[in-house]
Structure 1
Amino acid sequence: MPNPFNEPIIEEFRANKGRVGGYFEGARLILLTTTGARTGTPHTTPVGYLPDGDGRVLVIASAGGADRHPHWYTNLLAHPHVTIDSGAFTYEARAVVLQGEERDRAFARAVEADPGWAEYQQKTERVIPVVALHEIAQDGPPNINAGSMGEAIKVVHDAFRRELALIRQEMSAGTSTLGAQLRVNCLTFCQGLHNHHTGEDLGMFPVLADRYPDAAPALARLRHEHERIAELVEELRRTVTAENADPATARAEVERLTAELEAHLTYEEEQLIPLLAAA
């Protein structure tokens, strides 16, 4: 049976490719589709997540501190194969419940980023589970939630814009130290951006160069910008992984990356979307 609270959020999430307002505005959110433990039917639930790198994200079965696990958690215990909609991408994943020290470290990171998780744990005697969702590799290009290649570029770019805005917000609200989860957020963003640009350099750009020779100057500029952004990404990576990393230095690197990346994304959309629409 559809949940009257979740259904409007799901509809808004899908319509806006991951952007929602209200209670979840500004939160990292995915749509998690599980298979009912008793019914065998699919159930979709909006849940908050934590970036974790290495092709996985973490979700926490808090249920607002209730004494019973949420239904989505009991479903994935019975059927660990799940589907994730991130707004930009839809993909299959394998759910693994973290145990022992690994669970405790992940939960501590979550609490450091948002003390609300600790408040939920205080409300209940159950140990709130932390679940890793491992993306299942597939052949071919990723499944982007878009109806055309031009729209796909905009959807992916907007996802990067939203994540970078969240990281900037977290940097501004930080303390005198750089939190562990914030480090992971930065490193996950850096890896995702690297993968995206590598895919364009090796896949999309050569195809467009063959089809549209007049686009050679724009493609050359975009490749050069990829190299420049890779340098900024590497500098941010070094900054956040340094021992006793300085938050002020990290904020400065994020601002530098934001300025150049936004200009790059805008130029790329101006140049490539018309070409892809014509194709």
Structure 2
Amino acid sequence: MPNDFNQQVIEEFRANGGVVGGPFEGSRLLLLTTTGARSGARHTTPLGYLPDGDGRVLVIASAGGAPRDPDWFRNLVTRPRVSVEAGVFRYEADAVVLAGGERDRAFARAVGSDPGWADYQARADRVIPVVALQEIPGPPDIVAPSFGAAVKAVHDGFRRELALIRQELSRNGGASLGAQLRVNCLTACQGLHNHHTGEDAGLFPFLAERHPELAPVLERLAEEHLKLADLLEELRAAVTADGAGQVRVRAEVERLTAAIEEHFRYEEEHLIPVLDAVAH
């Protein structure tokens, strides 16, 4: 039976490039589509997730601490190939149910970032499963009305992730960095690196060939990629240092956020009008 609340969240998510309000506002959210274990029908569920690096994200089958595993979990146990929507990206993934120590370590990371997971486990008369969604290699689909809108949506996704990391650093009361927060920082670094590498190899040469008047803009953006790479490396070093501390990491995140915002602003100002013209 369709869940009206979930359907409203799904529609809002798809209409706004992954941005929703209500109880999910300001959180990491994806849409998971599974295939019914018995019916073979496709079912989409909004879920919070945790970054895990290396093309993986984690979802937790808590069902709010209910004694029974949620339907989406039972579906993927039977049919582990799933579809994931994250922001404007859609991709196929293989679902892997974590077991033993790997499951326990992942769940402990989740509890360290949000004690609510421990409350769910205390109420549930079962071991709450943790599932890794491993992206299938290949270019994801980007759901956007134009090339320019796609670039803006990708930038906004990074803006939201950096804002979340800054909020998490502010909430973390200890001097040291939490395990999940460390993963969040490293995943954001890798994502930004991949985004800039893709632009250098694909988008910028495409525009340079068709719009030679953009040469100064593209040169500046490429130079900024090199400077941003240095900032990303400095953040990685701060995050992975023995006894990584919040103060240093927060300073590096703030520096990176300011530089990324200026870079995105300049790129959007100069490239989006051209990309939207290409799209038409």
TM normalised by structure 2 equals 0.98
CA distance in 1, matches of 2:24, 2:52: 20
Any residues of structure 2 matched to 1:1-279 within 5 Å, and which? 1-138=1-138, 141-174=139-172, 175-279=174-278
CA distance in 1, matches of 2:190, 2:88: 16
**Equivalent residue letter for 2:158:** F
CA distance in 2, matches of 1:249, 1:226: 22
CA distance in 1, matches of 2:52, 2:188: 10
Which of structure 1's runs of 4+ aligned residues deviate more than 3 A?
none
CA distance in 2, matches of 1:48, 1:73: 14
Conserved 8 A contact 1:50-1:57: yes
CA distance in 2, matches of 1:259, 1:162: 13
How many percent identity over aligned positions? 68
After superposition, give the CA deviation of every residue in 1:66-98 in whole Å (9 maximum; x if it has no partner): 000000000001110000000120000000000
Does the residue aligned with 2:30 lie in a helix, a strand or coil?
strand
After superposition, give the CA deviation of every residue in 1:148-168 in whole Å (9 maximum; x if it has no partner): 111110110000000000000
**Equivalent residue letter for 1:13:** F
Does the residue aligned with 1:125 lie in a helix, a strand or coil?
coil
CA distance in 1, matches of 2:90, 2:242: 36
Conserved 8 A contact 1:81-1:93: yes
CA distance in 2, matches of 1:16, 1:241: 35
CA distance in 2, matches of 1:201, 1:158: 19
TM normalised by structure 1 equals 0.98
Conserved 8 A contact 1:58-1:130: yes
CA distance in 1, matches of 2:84, 2:140: 13
How many equivalent pairs are there? 277
After superposition, give the CA deviation of every residue in 1:101-155 in whole Å (9 maximum; x if it has no partner): 00000000000000000000000120000000000012xx431111211111011
Deviation of 1:275 (Å): 1.2
Conserved 8 A contact 1:145-1:155: no
Give the root-mean-square deviation of aligned CA atoms: 0.7
5+ residue gaps, structure 1: none
Deviation of 1:177 (Å): 1.3
CA distance in 2, matches of 1:232, 1:7: 40
Conserved 8 A contact 1:91-1:135: yes
Conserved 8 A contact 1:53-1:188: yes
5+ residue gaps, structure 2: none
Conserved 8 A contact 1:94-1:136: yes
